Structure 1
Amino acid sequence: MKKIYIYPPDNSENQYINIQKKAIEIAGVCIAHSLREFLSTDFFLLNWFETLGKNKISEFFKKLLKLSLIKLFKKKIFWVVHNKKPHIKSKKDNSAKLSLIIMKILLFFSDKIIILSDETKQVLMNIYPKTSFLEKKIYKIPHPNYIEAYPSCKIINKELPRGNLQLLYIGHINQYKNVDLLIDIINPLKDKPIELLIAGNCTDPAYRSQLLKSVKNEKIKCLFNFIPDNEICNLLSQNDVVVLPYDIESSLNSGTIFLAFSNKKTVISPLIGTLKEYESHDFFYSYEYNSPEDHKDKLTEEILHVLNDYLTDPSLLEQKGEEAFLIVKEKNSIEVIASLYNKLFNMFV
């Protein structure tokens, strides 16, 4: 049986890696649990490999060494492209150039480049504009849904008490997530029936303090903790819409959008690659922007659009969430993902 090593071997922030492992096992390939199995491993599947941690220089050279060894021993490399470029977690982060070097090396070293959405093709063209070269390497495996991926995620139609529109931001909180922008938008809407819950871990004490100080509306609540898996679905069920003001400079795909859809919730988000995958845009709220100022204006318009829909027909948001659920249940199931991985592995038998 063929064996694959997945990087990173686990991810505490979401279930993507676990679902990926399950799909690969269904596809008939064994998971290598340690680099001690290097010699017996056939494939290396790399997620977010271009992202560098705190010790950027040393980690950069370690990753170059790992890639060189994988190629030296003639192992197959599959690179999963998640973002346009690694997210810059703070304004002091200067690792972008090093990460771009790794992305360029991965582009050449990879035997297949796995894309989650079609927009990724243009991102890769921006790195290396040779269409024929890329077409041979690109292989599309969409992002899996998160249906039943989290504890107590039995999908139920929970009736929310009718009153204020409940907006939810959920996920890790870094500067590129634009949570400060979201607070700035909701602050002056004190006379509107809108509540915002910001839920997620914020590991930057300075940014956390900045966000808390910026809250001027009592209908904005901040829950700056790591959200345990067994609380995620309940949190989603208690809110109407998930709002995700992504930075389009780096954001390309969104697991949180799939998390929302998998729990029958619609979203407000820039029109990133994940949302462009769908022919119909009727089951979510999206917008495009050209500058930080434009982003604020467009997101404000979309939030007020959602509020108008909510006040006009409260069931409309639930209908959109139901449609989103049915779509990702069909198009992004683990069976679909496993079948595509099976075809990928058969190319190298």
Structure 2
Amino acid sequence: MGKPTVYMWPKSSPHNKYSELLTRSIERNGLRVEHYDRAAMFKPRRGDIVHLHWPSNSYTASVFALTIVKSLFFALLLLHYRCLGVRLFWTVHNVWPHDGKTRWDRLMRKYILTVCHRGFVLSESVKDEVAGTFGVPASKLVVTPHGHYVDAYVSKGTDIRKRFGIAPDSFLFLFIGRINPYKGVDQLVEAYSKLKLKPGTCELLIAGHVDKGYSLDFIDRVNDGSIRVNPQFVDDQEMADFLEAANVIVLPYKQITTSGSAILALSHKKPVVAPRLGALGEYVSDGCGILYDPDDPDGLRKALRQSMDMDARETELRIAAKLGELDWGRIASKMVQVYTGTKQVEVNA
């Protein structure tokens, strides 16, 4: 029997480079990877691999009756693959979908983990949470960290500070990404407004697509002119320019499993301010940023202030060491071993 084909579900995404970077690394490790979609549904054969990433769209619909139909089809499809001898894997990027959790999600996600040969998780803390939440043996879950984004986003050379009228010597906090209630931008604005620093020494830039129905009026109520807002999606061509403009990236999430945004920030050698939630404590390790207690009402403000005093050289060295742990080649090599059953290992972040 020849080498198996990996059907990556999906192989690439317009909103996340994770699958694309993982695919390249798996291909460098000697396996062929194809994109999984409807056209590829009946292509996998015995010994091939189907690797899921974000399955909730495969079993949910806008109407519950259709959700039942989709879920039944999806469940039977996975069972068909098992009977056919296809090996199934799921990378659990999020314990629950971003739009919330339901009993149906619990049922389907438990089923997916049950029918899959193994589940990949991105940190030890997520492994414990997934095992406890869905009642699967911890031995079925393999820790393979989220790889870095070094050189994934190329700078266009746009001067972001000049675009928004931010002084070159001003300390700049940046929030970048989709803006919705669970991202905690309201808490960030409140904490920033309480810093009470000398005018001109510090500014905050908030950039990203705002979810429909979510108002940013809370910014206007406290903005002294040092909070800049770019309420549009930041495309890949300017992502690096935004990150390079900042001194610190702030991710004030109210809930999170694993944050690609934190890894993206570290990939551009930027320290991260974030709550001690989910896997963030394993990625934003000592010296790579400031983690705060999300239950401390003043935690975010104190973390913002503390981040301004970090030693830039020492921080860069700590981040470089962390990025070495998040090498894609190392991660993909271990994942291929699990695919093929040649060795069962765990790679810690």
TM-score normalised by L of structure 2? 0.83
Alignment-mate amino acid for residue 285 of structure 1: I
Q: 1:288 aligns with which of 293, 297, 312?
A: 293
Q: CA deviation at 1:87?
A: 2.1
CA distance in 2, matches of 1:224, 1:23: 34
Q: CA deviation at 1:3?
A: 1.8
CA distance in 2, matches of 1:148, 1:60: 42
**Cα deviation code 1:23-53 (max 9, x no counterpart):** 2222322223333233332222111213677
The 3-state SS of whatever aligns with 2:279 is helix
The 3-state SS of whatever aligns with 2:191 is helix
Contact 1:147 / 1:153 at 8 angstroms: preserved in 2? Answer: no
CA distance in 1, matches of 2:95, 2:29: 28
Q: 2:181 aligns with which of 159, 175, 192?
A: 175
> Would you say how many aligned residue pairs link Structure 1 and Structure 2?
322
Q: Could you say which residue in structure 1 is the equivalent of 2:19? A: 17
Q: 2:319 aligns with which of 320, 324, 333?
A: 324
Contact 1:50 / 1:100 at 8 angstroms: preserved in 2? Answer: no
Contact 2:7 / 2:49 at 8 angstroms: preserved in 1? Answer: yes
Contact 1:166 / 1:239 at 8 angstroms: preserved in 2? Answer: yes
Alignment-mate amino acid for residue 69 of structure 1: L
Alignment-mate amino acid for residue 227 of structure 2: I
Q: Could you say which residue in structure 2 is the equivalent of 1:148? A: 151
Contact 2:60 / 2:70 at 8 angstroms: preserved in 1? Answer: no
The 3-state SS of whatever aligns with 2:239 is helix
CA distance in 2, matches of 1:279, 1:171: 18
CA distance in 1, matches of 2:50, 2:222: 45
Moved over 6 A (4+): none
Alignment-mate amino acid for residue 300 of structure 1: R
Q: CA deviation at 1:279?
A: 9.7
Matches within 5 A, 1:101-116: 101-116=107-122
Go from structure 1 to structure 2 and tell me whether the alpha carbon gap of 1:217 and 1:333 turns closer, same or farther (over 3 Å shift): same
Matches within 5 A, 1:27-38: 27-33=29-35, 34-38=37-41
**Cα deviation code 1:276-307 (max 9, x no counterpart):** 336951221001223xxx3x411111112123
Go from structure 1 to structure 2 and tell me whether the alpha carbon gap of 1:243 and 1:64 turns closer, same or farther (over 3 Å shift): farther
Which runs of 5 or more residues in structure 1 are unaligned? 155-159, 311-315
Q: CA deviation at 1:259?
A: 0.5
TM-score normalised by L of structure 1? 0.83
Go from structure 1 to structure 2 and tell me whether the alpha carbon gap of 1:115 and 1:223 turns closer, same or farther (over 3 Å shift): same
CA distance in 2, matches of 1:202, 1:54: 23
Go from structure 1 to structure 2 and tell me whether the alpha carbon gap of 1:222 and 1:280 turns closer, same or farther (over 3 Å shift): closer
Alignment-mate amino acid for residue 40 of structure 1: K
Contact 1:264 / 1:318 at 8 angstroms: preserved in 2? Answer: no
Question: Matched residues, percent identical?
Answer: 27
